[in-house]
């Protein structure tokens, strides 16, 4: 586990920041918008609006009306008839979602204008013409009798074409128009005008908290009702005027819903494949305003902040916690990232899902993998280092035992028994030489350790190869004699090696003592050095237990001992050869081993050298 201020925390921090940037980038791509939209629609499904009594009422020009009243050619006359009935019913306001822009050849304009004049709080519609920046206005006689003209522009999502919001205001030809439903709302509320500021609108003392967002206008999310809005067809209105009583005190939205005239149908988050007629959407916009059932898109700053928290939290968790604790907390964070849009939605805030979830997932996966693969690996390595260190300690204590036993025995002998001066001198010398050997051994071991860790530069002094061979042979001779093994120095090359004499002595002596150790009595051990073309070969051969192919492959690895060696009763540590290998390698050479089980082995140190 990382401690505070530990540089090992930095990777987590970097992964956190990287996840944040990647997550935010992903969150702003078109595919992310689609996913966010899809998620939004799903949240709308989960959080259906309360079914309060509706104020809006649809009067539909449906298929049956168009069939029975000779289609759209007679439409103005038909509408005039219906409006006469409607006016008598006393609605609060009437919004007509038909752009009656031109004079009608079939006549009926006067009739219609007269009927319109009787309707209270009439709102007519206009829209910006396609491919031009001009309003398509209602025919002047109609416009004259209308209380307001509102825009009926459908604001469809640029990626999936679904109608989720409305622009409360639209500007063209420097003329600003409020949304038709907003105008109907104002008139129904008895408002004289809409008071606007950058931050909100005021309609008859009611604040509508929709700020103007520069280029993006003044968007409002439409809170569609789940249950269908109440409706009446134009035909019913004309044929059974008594039904008009239902429209008393309502805000009526009149428009075409006929499927055969389906130009004005849009997909909504709740709609079926048929889509919803524009007039009905306007009624839903009105309901959103009237019931103040507002949803607000979360600001970019809050999204970035939430994403930052979600990306950085796993980084902190993994930097400070280890093991399953970290994974458990990370899982909770992912859960939290996913539930965030749900929680805020119930407070009327629409939050995207992709950016925060992507940040959380990326960060958790990144930091988790980092901890699992990298930090765990480091941990395993440091554990291996520790056990290696313990084994090294074991080796040192084991190797130090024999000189210590000699020193201890000799000193005891001197103090306990009377002996001749000569014998005493011999003992004292023995103590002296053994303690020197001990000191040298410790030094060698420390040197090799430091060499291995790269803390020490190899000594670079020239020394004669023949000296090394002779010194080592002499040192090993008593061991050989004790086992009744012959030790022969066969050839002595005259060559100069550049390096560390003591370490090289350690290496050669180690090979000789192994040869003696792993050979039975009565056999021969030979050491031979040869020089040829810049290469010195010091070969130590024996007639001992040998090794098979498999053992040969592993010998020289730290702590490896052959079964054969153990059975021969020699309990080694399996570290000597690995040190030899390192010493030779540090001198730019290599160790060659040839061996046959039961026949003997030959260890050859091959070194770069200079011939004399
Ligand atoms: P140790 O002798 O303390 O076990 P070494 O690293 O010197 O450690 O040797 C490693 C292993 O290699 C020995 O345990 C032994 O099995 C094998 N070995 C080394 N030298 C010889 C040899 N001359 N003949 C046969 N086996 C050998």
403 or 483, greater pLDDT: 483
- Which of 508, 509, 518 has most ligand 1 atoms within 8 Å of CB, for mutation? 518
- The mean pLDDT value for 320-327 works out to 84
Residue 450 pLDDT greater than 50, yes or no: yes
- The mean pLDDT value for 84-110 works out to 88
Ligand 1 atom at minimal distance to the Cα of residue 603: 23
Q: Across 5-9, 452-456, 526-530, which has the greatest mean pLDDT? A: 526-530
Where are the extended beta strands (E) located within 184-284? Answer: 194-196, 201-203, 206-208, 219-221, 231-233, 251-256, 265-266, 276-277
Q: Where are the domains of the chain?
A: 9-35+298-373, 51-292, 458-611
- The mean pLDDT value for 555-568 works out to 79
d(CA 312, CA 34): 26
List, for residues 155-167, the tens digit of each pLDDT value.
888 888 899 999 9
d(CA 119, CA 89): 10
Q: Considering only CA atoms, which residue is closest to atom 8 of ligand 1? A: 574
CATH for the stretch 458-611: 3.30.565.10
- The mean pLDDT value for 383-401 works out to 75
Per-residue pLDDT at 3: 42
Per-residue pLDDT at 571: 55
330 within 8 A of 322, measured Cβ to Cβ: no
Q: Considering only CA atoms, which residue is closest to atom 3 of ligand 1? A: 572
Verify whether ligand 1 is closer than 6 Å to residue 556 (CB atom): no
Rg (alpha carbons) of the chain, rounded to whole number: 49
| Number of residues assigned to the chain | 612
Verify whether ligand 1 is closer than 6 Å to residue 97 (CB atom): no
Ligand 1: centre distance to CA 590 (Å): 17
Verify whether ligand 1 is closer than 6 Å to residue 112 (CB atom): no
Residue 309 pLDDT greater than 50, yes or no: yes
Verify whether ligand 1 is closer than 6 Å to residue 542 (CB atom): yes
Q: Considering only CA atoms, which residue is closest to atom 9 of ligand 1? A: 574
Verify whether ligand 1 is closer than 6 Å to residue 125 (CB atom): no
Per-residue pLDDT at 99: 86
551 or 438, greater pLDDT: 551
Q: How confident is the model at residue 4 (pLDDT cuts 50, 70, 90)?
A: very low
List, for residues 352-371, the tens digit of each pLDDT value.
999 999 999 999 999 999 88
Per-residue pLDDT at 314: 92
234 within 8 A of 60, measured Cβ to Cβ: yes
Verify whether ligand 1 is closer than 6 Å to residue 514 (CB atom): yes
Rounded to the nearest integer, the mean pLDDT of the chain is 89
Q: State the residue for tokens 């003997």.
A: 600
Ligand 1 atom at minimal distance to the Cα of residue 515: 23
Q: How confident is the model at residue 1 (pLDDT cuts 50, 70, 90)?
A: very low
Ligand 1 atom at minimal distance to the Cα of residue 395: 3
Q: Token pair for residue 446?
A: 């420390």
Ligand 1: centre distance to CA 544 (Å): 11
pTM above 0.85, yes or no: no
C-alpha distances out from residue 83 to 63, 74, 198, 237, Å: 19, 14, 38, 9
Give the SS3 label for residue 105. coil
Verify whether ligand 1 is closer than 6 Å to residue 547 (CB atom): yes
Residue 71 pLDDT greater than 60, yes or no: yes
- The mean pLDDT value for 199-225 works out to 92
State percent of the chain over pLDDT 70. Answer: 95
Ligand 1: centre distance to CA 476 (Å): 16
Per-residue pLDDT at 154: 85
Per-residue pLDDT at 243: 94
Q: How confident is the model at residue 118 (pLDDT cuts 50, 70, 90)?
A: very high
d(CA 574, CA 392): 10
Per-residue pLDDT at 81: 92
């Amino acid at each position: 586990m990382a401690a505070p201020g530990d540089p090992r925390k930095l990777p987590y921090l970097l992964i956190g920041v990287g996840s944040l940037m990647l997550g935010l980038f992903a969150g702003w791509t078109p595919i992310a918008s689609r996913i966010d939209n899809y998620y939004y629609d799903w949240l709308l499904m989960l959080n259906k609006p309360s079914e309060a009594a509706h104020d809006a009422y649809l009067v539909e020009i449906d298929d049956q009306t168009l069939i029975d009243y000779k289609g759209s050619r007679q439409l103005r006359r038909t509408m005039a008839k219906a409006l006469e009935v409607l006016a008598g019913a006393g609605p609060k306001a009437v919004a007509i979602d038909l752009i009656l822009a031109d004079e009608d050849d079939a006549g009926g304009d006067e009739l219609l204008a007269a009927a319109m004049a009787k309707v209270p709080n009439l709102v007519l519609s206009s829209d910006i013409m396609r491919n031009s920046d001009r309003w398509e206005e209602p025919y002047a006689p109609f416009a004259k009798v209308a209380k307001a003209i509102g825009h009926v522009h459908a604001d469809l999502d640029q990626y999936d074409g679904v109608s989720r919001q409305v622009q409360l205001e639209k500007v063209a030809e420097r003329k600003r128009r409020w949304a038709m439903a907003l105008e109907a709302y104002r008139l129904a509320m008895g408002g004289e005008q809409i008071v606007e500021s950058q931050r909100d609108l005021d309609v008859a003392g009611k604040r509508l908290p929709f700020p103007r967002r520069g280029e993006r206008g003044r968007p409002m999310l439409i809170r569609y009702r789940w249950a269908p809005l109440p409706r009446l067809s134009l035909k019913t209105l004309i044929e059974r005027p008594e039904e008009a009583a239902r429209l008393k005190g309502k805000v009526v939205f009149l428009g075409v819903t006929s499927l055969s005239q389906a130009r004005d149908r849009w997909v909504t988050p709740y709609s079926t494949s048929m889509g919803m007629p524009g007039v009905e959407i306007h009624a839903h916009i009105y309901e959103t305003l009237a019931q103040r059932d507002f949803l607000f898109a979360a600001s970019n700053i809050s999204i970035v902040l939430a994403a930052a928290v979600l990306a950085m939290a796993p980084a902190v968790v993994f930097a400070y916690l280890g093991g399953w604790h970290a994974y458990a907390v990370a899982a909770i964070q992912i859960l939290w990232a996913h539930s965030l849009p749900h929680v805020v939605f119930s407070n009327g805030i629409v939050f995207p899902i992709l950016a925060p979830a992507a940040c959380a997932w990326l960060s958790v996966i990144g930091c988790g993998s980092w901890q699992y693969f990298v930090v765990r690996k480091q941990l395993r390595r440091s554990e291996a280092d520790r056990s290696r260190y313990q084994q090294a300690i074991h080796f040192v204590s084991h190797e130090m035992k024999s000189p210590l036993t000699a020193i201890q025995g000799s000193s005891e002998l001197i103090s306990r028994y009377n002996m001749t001066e000569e014998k005493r001198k011999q003992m004292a010398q023995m103590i002296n030489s053994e303690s020197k050997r001990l000191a040298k051994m410790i030094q060698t071991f420390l040197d090799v350790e430091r060499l291995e860790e790269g803390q020490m530069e190899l000594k670079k002094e020239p020394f004669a190869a023949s000296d090394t061979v002779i010194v080592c042979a002499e040192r090993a001779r008593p061991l050989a004699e004790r086992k009744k093994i012959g030790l022969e120095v066969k050839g002595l090359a005259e060559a100069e090696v550049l390096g560390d004499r003591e370490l090289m002595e350690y290496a050669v002596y180690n090979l000789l003592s192994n040869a003696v150790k792993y050979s039975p009595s009565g056999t021969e051990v030979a050491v031979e050095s040869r020089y040829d073309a810049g290469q010195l070969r010091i070969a130590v051969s024996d007639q001992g237990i040998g090794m098979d192919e498999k053992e040969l492959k592993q010998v020289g690895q730290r702590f490896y001992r052959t079964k054969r060696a153990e059975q021969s009763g020699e309990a080694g540590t399996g570290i000597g050869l690995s040190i030899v290998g390192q010493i030779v390698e540090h001198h730019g050479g290599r160790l060659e081993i040839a061996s046959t089980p039961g026949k003997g082995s030959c260890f050859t140190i091959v070194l770069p050298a200079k011939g004399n």
